Structure 1
Amino acid sequence: MLRLADVSKRYGPGHWVLDRVDMQIPPAQSVAVLGTNGSGKSTLLRILAGVTRPTRGRVSGAPPVIGYVPDRFPAFDAMGSLAYLVHIGRMRGLRTAEARRRGQQLLERLQLVGGIRTPIRALSKGNAQKVALSQAIMVLPQLLILDEPWSGLDANAHDVLAEILDEVVRVGGSVVFTDHRESISGAYSTLAYRIEEGRVLAVERVAPRPRGVPMAHVVLADPGAECPPPSRIDWREVAGVAGVRSIDEAIHVQVHPAACDGLLMTALRGGWSVAEVRRDREAGRLGGGDSWAH
């Protein structure tokens, strides 16, 4: 079990970003780290990953295989995604052929767009994030640490990421992740901590979405010229929303099932027309080049 004992961190003579943190990451658990921007979430994850050393305190129990996806994935000027994954696989003890097979498998599973030989720096943010996820699981880690992992991912990759979290936990590994939306944190974690003024506090858990239960898919439309124009709403900030996209002048919203009623109430109060509500798996994936915005 990974443990932090009396861990504090500051950079230079500045204020303490983390202050006297006592925390443990049990096996077979998915742990969400909550907090506002600048609260120290990324610093905490870097300490857990062994990338950053605490200023004081002790970290113990780190497993031998850790997968880490930082909040900013570095752009490698000339390296294509597959070549990079082969390089990472070799570093982690895989033979070249095995690393190539594993890399191709992961990029196909995440549906990389842009080409496996395209330099990573030339990929879109969402596709670079797929490479970042792939490198973290080239060898299935005993601890997977993800900083805002859903950022920029399309709907298909969103679902694959959820499957990856399940796979790590199912074999006894641990997952630690951050996301700025507590609805996502609640849906995919079994434990949660919140950072407040440098202190890391255990928080009461919101029940996660049951395994196998699909997200709700809500289609919203402008009611037309006979009605007042609907309110401008940033749907991504509505509680429980996992993805939003616009198709044929309609707004398609992917929402956690427990938050669907609240979303519908927000829409109706804002003057929107609810065109359709369905379970995402029943609907199938929408075609075309559009992708969910998270």
Structure 2
Amino acid sequence: MLCVLADGTGRNIWILLRDKTGAEGQRIAWEDLGMGRDDAEFDLPVNSSYIERLQDLGVVVRSSSRWLNAISGRVSPEIERRVLEQDFVLGVQSVRRTRRPKIPQAPSARPVTNWKGLQSQYGPAFDQMAQTGIIPLHSLGFTGAGVRIAVLDNGFHYTEHPAFREKFRLIAERDFINGDNVVSDQSGQPVTGDETRSSQNLHGAQVLSLLAGYESDRFVIGVAPDAEYILAKTEENRTELPTEEDRWIAGLEWADSLGARVVNSSLGYNIWDDGSGYAPGDLD
């Protein structure tokens, strides 16, 4: 049974689970969002029987997270009470905030002296690259080779963008909004409609061009033109709803499963279209 809440009384929650099942069938207790567990245990999937049991209770399951060992769902007050009575449920709450780690000081790059010559080499990208300190890194040979980068955004019309014709290395792409494997413009999409007549995939392509862009004839160079890229389309332009956070988590875990070592996500949420959201203190 999958119960659809139509009376407007439901709320979206994370349902935290008490355990996972190990590779050899053993029970692994899961507390404090997996604090102290190793990478292999974080990658164990959410128990599918728990998802089915929650659906039987009437939970509208939106997504699940193997890292959090939790299930995102929409519930009414009565269904939430029944969820908390289940022996496999640890509790319900919003996604937990964590403290930022201290960033180690990076070694100093050797100074760049030939700025005039580099200006012609980088073309229109020179100002932004100089301001962010990328040019000295390029002079040391750091152009992204051997690094797999995931970008989570609203879409990427990279097939029509000249900055991606020469060097762009695409590993995988996934549209978490419409449920297919194309992140560039399409017409007749079930959620985003005719993307050929909208800006649905514009922002992601702009961000991607800053990272992966390379046009030798126009002297345009991005931050990491030699890296490999994974593209996840998680943000719908027309609405701002909590389900976009679920897509974001799904996209992040998918990218990790493909070996992403760096993630760029130029997205942020505060006030949702339904009036809910976050206070300034929640955003750190």
In the superposition, the TM-score normalised over structure 2's length comes to 0.32
Larger radius of gyration: 2
| Richer in strand (by share) | 1
In the superposition, the TM-score normalised over structure 1's length comes to 0.31
